[in-house]
């Protein structure tokens, strides 16, 4: 083999997106061993490794970082060309909301892939705090949105359920005789109410020292050791540890929610693409 093969590139991108060989192999419907063989062939062809171990997963090497945008462009161009040749007949517009937090990168890739596969569909993407998505769906400003909810409604499709927990850095002084410094989401986020209810049920005294609209902001405060806060299990980093004794917190549900004007093949195609990505 003396040229880059798109099959190898697809395997490479799947593993990169999933952050592990197991998850990447599932996305392309291969066994882990088959995916590993594909990556070995790619590395032999290039003459350098494209992944390195990182904790429980993997991350790109400098060579992998150079290859990724080129691979994504090449695969996207081929998929887009195939879609145009097949002409699936999908045309029109779709207004979609994606959250401005840790799920954004995954959802952005889904949207990019959808655009390449369905070039006749005009997408209007609203990437913002998800607290306003429900109102936008009700008013028709959005056709479909992905966001976190406390309970799954009849007009929603569940993508995953994530445990929530109190967490803090080991740098935080947690003197039981002093009010616990906490970081909260702003008042528009229902996670704030969950956190306050759990504290009240535990009887632990507290003081609010930090407020943020985003997960990134909350994690920054926690990792700096200035407060404890509520985070999803997937957002836990090596710098954080669970904090016990602050009351139980129900899980959060990541859903696709549909607006009043969400009927039609375009919306169903987008929902299918999102569900497939989260099922992998």
For residue 102, pLDDT beyond 60:
no
| Domain locations in the chain as residue ranges | 6-86, 92-154+256-279, 164-250
- The CATH number of the structural domain formed by 92-154+256-279 is 3.40.190.10
Find the range with the poorest average confidence among 76-80, 158-162, 256-260. Answer: 76-80
Please name which of 144, 159, 148 lies closest in space to residue 265, comparing C-alpha atoms: 144
Q: Whole-prediction pTM value? A: 0.67
DSSP letters for 131-179: GGHHHHHHHTS-SEEEEEESS--TTEEEEEEE-EEEEEETTS---TTSP
- The CATH number of the structural domain formed by 6-86 is 1.10.10.10
pLDDT tens-place string over residues 47-66: 999 999 877 778 899 999 99
For residue 9, pLDDT beyond 80:
yes
pLDDT (0 to 100) of residue 129? 75
Please name which of 110, 111, 106, 155 lies closest in space to residue 133, comparing C-alpha atoms: 155
Any residues with CB less than 8 A from the CB of 264 and at least 6 apart, and which? 92
Give the residue, 88 or 85, on which the prediction is more confident.
Answer: 85
Q: How far apart are CA 12 and CA 109, in angstroms?
A: 15
Fold of 164-250: D-Maltodextrin-Binding Protein; domain 2 (3.40.190)
pLDDT (0 to 100) of residue 89? 66
| Mean pLDDT, residues 13-40 taken together | 86
pLDDT (0 to 100) of residue 222? 95
For residue 180, pLDDT beyond 90:
yes
Find the range with the poorest average confidence among 123-132, 170-179, 214-223. Answer: 123-132
- 8 Å CB contact between 147 and 255: yes
pLDDT (0 to 100) of residue 103? 61
For residue 1, pLDDT beyond 70:
no
Q: What is the mean pLDDT of the chain?
A: 86
pLDDT (0 to 100) of residue 227? 94
Please name which of 164, 165, 163, 159 lies closest in space to residue 145, comparing C-alpha atoms: 159
Q: Report the chain's C-alpha Rg in angstroms.
A: 22
| Mean pLDDT, residues 83-107 taken together | 74
Q: Do the domains at 92-154+256-279 and 164-250 have one common CATH topology?
A: yes
pLDDT tens-place string over residues 241-266: 999 899 889 999 999 998 876 668 88
Report in angstroms the alpha-carbon separations of 100 from 44, 108, 117, 224, 273: 38, 10, 24, 21, 19
* pLDDT class of 233 with cuts at 50, 70, 90: confident
Q: What angle do CA 226, 228, 230 make, to 5 degrees?
A: 140
> Which H or E run contains 58?
strand 57-60
Give the whole-number percent of the chain exceeding pLDDT 90: 36
Angle between helices 62-86 and 6-18 (to 10 degrees): 110
DSSP 264: S
CB burial class (10 A; 0-12, 13-18, 19+) of residue 260? exposed
Taking the C-alpha atoms of 98, 108, 54 and 252 in order, what is their torsion angle to the nearest 10 degrees? Answer: 20
pLDDT tens-place string over residues 183-212: 998 877 888 999 999 999 999 999 999 998
* pLDDT class of 272 with cuts at 50, 70, 90: confident
DSSP letters for 183-216: EEE-TT-HHHHHHHHHHHHHT--EEEEEEESSHH
For residue 93, pLDDT beyond 60:
yes
């Amino acid at each position: 083999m003396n040229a880059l093969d798109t099959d190898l590139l697809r395997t490479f991108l799947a593993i990169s997106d999933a952050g592990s060989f197991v998850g990447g192999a599932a996305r392309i419907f291969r066994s882990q061993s088959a995916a590993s063989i594909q990556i070995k062939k790619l590395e032999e062809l290039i003459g350098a490794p494209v992944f390195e171990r990182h904790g429980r997963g993997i991350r790109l090497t400098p060579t992998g970082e150079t290859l990724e945008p080129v691979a994504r462009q090449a695969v996207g161009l081929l998929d887009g060309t195939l879609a145009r040749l097949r002409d699936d007949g999908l045309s029109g517009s779709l207004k979609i909301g994606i959250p401005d937090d840790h799920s954004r990168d995954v959802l952005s890739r889904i949207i990019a892939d959808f655009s390449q596969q369905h070039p006749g569909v005009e997408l209007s993407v609203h990437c913002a705090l998800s607290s306003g998505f429900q109102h936008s769906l009700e008013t028709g400003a959005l056709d479909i949105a992905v966001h976190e909810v406390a309970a799954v409604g009849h007009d929603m499709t569940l993508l995953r359920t994530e445990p929530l927990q109190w967490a803090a850095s080991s740098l935080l002084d947690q003197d039981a005789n002093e009010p616990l410094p906490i970081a909260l989401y702003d008042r528009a986020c229902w996670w704030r109410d969950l956190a306050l209810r759990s504290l009240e049920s535990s009887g632990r005294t507290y003081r609010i020292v930090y407020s943020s609209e985003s997960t990134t902001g909350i994690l920054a405060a926690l990792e700096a050791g200035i407060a404890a806060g509520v985070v999803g299990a997937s957002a836990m980093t090596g710098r954080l540890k669970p904090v016990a004794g602050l009351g139980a917190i129900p899980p959060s549900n990541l859903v696709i929610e549909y607006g009043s004007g969400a009927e039609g093949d375009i919306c169903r195609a987008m929902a299918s693409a999102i569900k497939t990505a989260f099922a992998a």
